[in-house]
Amino acid sequence: MLNRLGIAAKVFGLAVLLLCLTVALACFLLWRVDQLQDELELIARREAPLAASLSRLDEYGLRRRLAFERWFGALNSPKPNQEIVREAQANYQAYTDKLQQEFTIAKKLFANVSEQDRRREKLSAIRSVLDQIEAAYPLISARQVQVLDLQAAGRHDRANDLDNVLNDLQRLVQGQRQQLQDATAALMQDAAELATAHEKQAFWLTGAMTICAVLLGLALAAIIAHRLVEPVRSLIAGLKNVEQGDLSIELPVASQDEVGTLTQSFNYFVGELRAKEQIKRTFGQYIDPRVLDQVILQPGAQADGRRVMTVSFSDLEAFTSIGEHLTATGLVNLLNRHFTLQAAAVQQCQGIIDKFIGDAVLAFWGPPFTTPEEHPLLACRAALGQLAALKNLRADLPEVTGLRKDLPHINLRIGISTGEVVVGNIGSESARSYTVIGDTVNLGQRLETANKVYGTHILVSEATRDGAGSAIVAREIDFLVVKGKTEIARVFEVVGLQGEVPDAQLALSERFGEALEAYRSQEWDRSESALKGCLELCPEDGPSRLFLDRVRQLRVRPGSEQWDGVWRPASL
């Protein structure tokens, strides 16, 4: 039932519940205060007046006795002082009347003692003693009159004897009056202690009830707050998971309030995102997801135009001969595994796979996928990663090709160039692809092919080398003029990343630089000596062997006087 209520109804219900607890606590406090008030009123209405009345009875009894003693003493002289006698007689009579009035007042205070009165026994005991005292006073009065008559008649001895007997009776009554005082004091103490106990009980019960009400209110508030907040926390956690790319989450709808409606909307929203992500993954097998996100599906994105980008073209060596020794299934498995590793290396460095051409991979870097400053370096890093991926491919050859021996030799050539390209959605009205075209792309392909001539793996243009900066170690290879171009291309080989190249390779690059300088200066002997030094450091160094052959040829057929050191191979 609670799950069907709205948030406003739940909050209002919590407020009503807390208000009911507060009202119940207030009613309890009023009840306890009323009980205490009744107790105090009883003390003020009965116990205190009774104690005062009994105290006056004691006082009047003592004063009556003193008046009697003075009257008796005045009559004891041969010539009594009549004034003293009259004063003593008047006082005696006045206190006798007051005693009768107090007895009446005291007995009235006992009239409203109920059967349920917890001090009924004590009051009954006091009333019993009071009745005894009241019954004793007529006898005392009669004896006192008899004593006074004997004294007035001059029979002093008889009067003294009778007075002694009267004193015994009066001492008995005085003891009873003292007993009344003690019983009344005990009654007042009991009433005071009872009132104090009720007060303390009311205090502690009030505190306990307040704590219980607060704890109960907090518990109920916590339960309701938990029921309200937990779905919200689940929504927040779900949103964070969605932000982190987890679209498999689906939250349970635990209520039918606004949060439940929001949870249903969230699940619908995530379901739509999941469907779109599935579509993106499907398209991502044909188009790089970043192209899909940032260009094709991005409203207002500038998809077409001229931009400075870096292009990479990579190709397997002797793939045709490799394919001749494999079945169709083995060849497809090999290509799929190769492309998977190559694509991972390129995408790890933020590159975009443009297309797969046979066994070749065309990739590019540049805005909006990278910043204008970093794409040459990223392309060089990706190329080194592509070469490193060959180790995994060679290790997987038995599994992907089905061959246990005579495994094909796998090697890779990469050409990278940086410059202006035309980028955009290019194709027919019915079939298009997001790609790059231009001289920069052609140069990258020519540099890939040039690796066969120089025996290298990664050749880059001068613009790429300059863009990568000091983060890479590269050695200059040659001046080239590729087929269909008149501009001179300064070509470099990427040796590795700065700080990761062995000392022997650094020494080879330095010695090759000396040889290249002498070569361009037509100092054949110095160039040949330096090239031989390079081969001593690395006998398999392709550029050194190539240039050594060139130097030997140029000795026989030296260049013209316009020698510029540029190589113009017809095959490139």
Strand, coil or helix: 411: coil
Q: What is the pLDDT of residue 87?
A: 83
Q: Which residues of 170-200 are buried (b: 16+ CB within 10 A; e: fewer)?
A: beebbebbeebeebbeebeeebeebbeebbe
Between CA 537 and CA 248 the distance in angstroms is 57
pLDDT band of residue 567 (cuts 50, 70, 90) is confident
The lowest-confidence range among 164-178, 305-319, 369-383, 527-541 is 164-178
CA dist 87 and 69 (Å) reads 12
Whether the CA torsion 397, 399, 402, 404 is positive or negative: it is positive
Across the range 319-348, mean pLDDT stands at 85
Mean pLDDT of 144-159: 75
Pull the structure tokens for residue 359: 């066994």
What percentage of the chain exceeds 90 in pLDDT?
28
Predicted local confidence at residue 8, as pLDDT: 64
CA distance 416 to 380: 8
What average pLDDT does range 320-337 have in this prediction? Answer: 82
Query: Left (φ > 0), alpha (ψ -120 to 50) or beta: where does 496 sit?
Result: left
Q: For residue 160, is it left (φ>0), alpha (ψ between -120 and 50) or beta?
A: alpha
pLDDT-derived band at 3, boundaries 50, 70, 90: low
Tokens 């003593």 label which residue? 88
User: What are the pLDDT digits (tens) for 460-488?
Assistant: 999 999 999 999 999 999 998 887 677 88
**CA-based nearest residue to 88, from 69, 114, 115:** 69
Q: How far, rounded to the nearest angstrom, does the alpha carbon of residue 554 sit from its chain's CA centroid? A: 77
Q: Identify the bridge partners of residue 414 per DSSP, sorted by sequence position.
A: 314, 458
At residue 571, φ and ψ (nearest 5 deg) are -80, -15
Q: Say yes or no to pLDDT of 4 above 60.
A: no
Taking the C-alpha atoms of residue 177 and residue 173, their distance in angstroms, rounded to an integer, is 6
Within 248-402, residue ranges assigned H as helices are 258-284, 289-291, 319-324, 328-348, 375-401
Greater model confidence, 46 or 501: 501
* Model confidence at 201: pLDDT above 80: no
Q: Measure the CA–CA gap between 509 and 524, rounded to whole angstroms.
A: 19
Most confident of 206-210, 280-284, 444-448: 444-448
The helix (run of H) or strand (run of E) holding residue 42 is: helix 7-42
Which region among 242-246, 362-366, 434-438 has the lowest average model confidence (pLDDT)?
242-246
Sign (positive/negative) of CA torsion 108, 112, 115, 116? negative
Q: For 107-131, write each residue's pLDDT tens digit.
A: 787 776 655 566 777 777 777 777 7
pLDDT at 280 over 80: no
Q: CA 503 to CA 45: how far, in whole Å? A: 114
Distance of CA 54 to the CA centre of its chain: 75
Tokens representing 27 are 């009613």
- Beta carbons of 180 and 126 less than 8 angstroms apart: yes
Please give the mean pLDDT across all residues of the chain: 81
Q: Please check whether residue 416 is in contact with residue 312, taking contact to mean a CB–CB distance below 8 angstroms.
A: yes
**pTM greater than the 0.85 cutoff:** no
Looking at residue 517, its pLDDT comes to: 92
Binned at pLDDT 50, 70 and 90, residue 559 comes out as low
- Mean pLDDT is lowest, of 99-113, 282-296, 498-512, 525-539, for 282-296
**Tally of residues, the chain:** 572
Which residues are CB-neighbours of 332 under 8 A, at least 6 positions away?
none
Q: Which residues pair with 567 in a beta bridge?
A: 480
- Cβ proximity of 349 and 369 under 8 Å: no
pLDDT for 66 equals: 83
Measured in degrees and rounded to the nearest 5, phi and psi for residue 440 equal: -65, -40
CA torsion sign, 45 to 48 to 52 to 58? positive
| pLDDT for 221 | 73
Question: Which bin fits 253, alpha (ψ -120 to 50), beta or left (φ > 0)?
Answer: beta
List the beta bridge partners of residue 489.
480
DSSP state of 318: T
Reading the block at residue 116, the tokens are 């349920």
Structural contact between residues 502 and 415, judged by C-beta atoms closer than 8 angstroms: no
Residue 236: its H or E element? helix 156-243
Q: Residue 118: its pLDDT value, please?
A: 67
Lowest mean pLDDT among 12-26, 303-317, 377-391: 12-26
- Give the range with max mean pLDDT: 174-178, 188-192, 338-342: 338-342
H/E element, 417 = strand 412-427
Q: What distance in Å separates the CA atoms of residue 151 and residue 160, rounded to the nearest whole number? A: 8
- In the chain, what's the furthest Cα-to-Cα distance? 190
Mean pLDDT, residues 316-341:
83
pLDDT for 519 equals 92
CA-to-CA separations, 98 to 14, 148, 219, 295, 503, in angstroms, rounded: 67, 21, 66, 118, 133
Q: Which helix (H) or strand (E) holds 458?
A: strand 458-461
Residue 424 — pLDDT band, cuts 50, 70, 90? confident
